A and B are shown apart, each in its own frame.
Chain A
């Protein structure tokens, strides 16, 4: 859609496709190559944030290239399949931790910036309230992601350990571990996959969302 407004993009694509087979006189810019060059020359290491963070995996590269538009269907399917394979269920089979600790994590927006000291999950927050409504009490919440208020209750979770809840519990774990498994260009960080949060922290967030005692489900 946006591409239609910029014929220059088509020109650039055309050049790449033709792999410079003919020496066309019109000077067309290879924007993708120029972009890579620009990114490389513009950034430097600072603290824990090194320039290797600019490297994109398949998902990041494809979603960037789409400039906010939809992915080609085969690409989307391939990315979701690849990311699905990364999801690891909890080693002890337990999904639900302490919702109070989960709430603290949800409030905490810190971690992984060049002003943070360590990349260890223990120094990271979940950033949840930046994008989601979660409890009713916290009025300072973002709207980039959907509201998670009454997340478990709306899905009929009365006992997260019950077989009836298994599907939604595992789905939710998968979302937290790697959101790109079910939505290739999801805006949500891949908390488990990218080692932003550890298993215990993820369990605490699970409790915040799914524990019937959590304020989320009141």
Chain B
């Protein structure tokens, strides 16, 4: 990756005139202005409100709420849970991210089938409830700093596997996560790409999801974000809450240690 692409590249970049640089800068300013105008009034709030109600509503075959769900900080503790996920859970014997954990809680407490929810397309049925729940739960840790536990061997193993998955190149285009997120200061079109192999800073990269997606008008969870990354990577379809998605969550989350969460944020 770090090898210089194209021997003549440097010459070409150097030849880009001052005028082009100025134009580039002003488009960056324009985009910054656009984002600032949107920040005040993030429709993610609509999902937070719905998620909070869902957390407390008795539902499912067992007619129970999610209020007894242990997100890692003890049953019912929502605040601070998000910035420590994914983590190992003794009751399931697995490292779980927020959505994987919600699947477990929803199945045990409410009797809602985890497999059925996982197989439901994004944005429909239980999946749309999931989006609202992750908006609510992540919002409760807004401003807090990421601090994923790495004490359990399973957590450390998932970090190592996540790192390898991150660099795993394959498919028709030979892409890996690292193709876009392995270097700092890069863009696709005008979109800045966070470098996820290290801590890209407060509210950037891992610390910015879930997010309200302006382009689709939907609340995108980390699972959905990863799913669409893999789609654009030209990979086959990653299962919802599958191990590869959780391992990537551990890798990026550990790398983001100390970064303040701005989730749920607003994105293009």
Is B178 a contact of A113 with CB atoms below 8 Å?
no
Q: With A38-B165, A42-B242 as given contacts, are A186 and B234 in contact (CB-CB < 8 Å)?
A: no
Is A46 a contact of B236 with CB atoms below 8 Å?
yes
Tell me if B36 is interfacial: C-beta within 8 Å of chain A.
no
Which residues from chain A contact B157 at a C-beta distance below 8 Å?
29, 31, 34
Which residues from chain A contact B183 at a C-beta distance below 8 Å?
144
Tell me if B243 is interfacial: C-beta within 8 Å of chain A.
yes
CA–CA, A154 and B11, complex, Å: 8
Tell me if B203 is interfacial: C-beta within 8 Å of chain A.
no
CA–CA, A9 and B105, complex, Å: 34
Is B12 a contact of A70 with CB atoms below 8 Å?
no
Min CB–CB distance A97 → chain B (angstroms): 22
Tell me if A176 is interfacial: C-beta within 8 Å of chain B.
no
Which residues from chain B contact A65 at a C-beta distance below 8 Å?
167
Is A146 a contact of B5 with CB atoms below 8 Å?
yes
The answer, among B6, B173, B182, for a CB contact under 8 Å with A189, is: B173
Is B235 a contact of A54 with CB atoms below 8 Å?
yes
Chain B interface (Cβ < 8 Å from any Cβ of A): 1-3, 5-6, 8-13, 15-16, 20, 23-24, 27, 156-157, 160-161, 163-165, 167-176, 178-180, 182-183, 185-190, 193, 197, 231-232, 234-239, 242-245, 247
8 A-B residue pairs with CB within 8 Å: A42-B245, A43-B242, A49-B236, A49-B237, A67-B167, A146-B6, A149-B20, A150-B12
Is A31 a contact of B242 with CB atoms below 8 Å?
no
Which residues from chain B contact A9 at a C-beta distance below 8 Å?
160
Q: Interface size class for chain A?
A: 35 or more
CA–CA, A155 and B11, complex, Å: 10
Min CB–CB distance B32 → chain A (angstroms): 15
Tell me if A8 is interfacial: C-beta within 8 Å of chain B.
yes
Write out, one digit per residue, whether chain A residues 77-96 have a CB within 8 A of any chain B CB (1) or not (0): 00000000000000000000
Is B186 a contact of A143 with CB atoms below 8 Å?
yes
Q: With A64-B164, A146-B9 as given contacts, are A140 and B197 in contact (CB-CB < 8 Å)?
A: no
The answer, among B173, B186, B197, for a CB contact under 8 Å with A194, is: B173
Tell me if A68 is interfacial: C-beta within 8 Å of chain B.
yes
Tell me if A60 is interfacial: C-beta within 8 Å of chain B.
yes
Is A143 a contact of B236 with CB atoms below 8 Å?
no
A148-169: which residues lie under 8 A (CB-CB) from chain B? Answer: 148-151, 154-155
Is A53 a contact of B172 with CB atoms below 8 Å?
yes
CA–CA, A56 and B165, complex, Å: 13
CA–CA, A151 and B8, complex, Å: 9
CA–CA, A69 and B2, complex, Å: 7
Which residues from chain A contact B178 at a C-beta distance below 8 Å?
68
Is A42 a contact of B243 with CB atoms below 8 Å?
yes
Which residues from chain B contact A70 at a C-beta distance below 8 Å?
2-3
Is A144 a contact of B187 with CB atoms below 8 Å?
yes
Q: With A31-B160, A149-B20 as given contacts, are A44 and B2 in contact (CB-CB < 8 Å)?
A: no
Which residues from chain A contact B165 at a C-beta distance below 8 Å?
35, 38-39
Which residues from chain B contact A154 at a C-beta distance below 8 Å?
8, 11-12, 15
Which residues from chain A contact B24 at a C-beta distance below 8 Å?
139
Q: A29-B160, A68-B2, A146-B9 are in contact. List 6 more A-B contacts (CB 8 A).
A: A29-B157, A42-B239, A43-B236, A43-B244, A54-B170, A113-B232
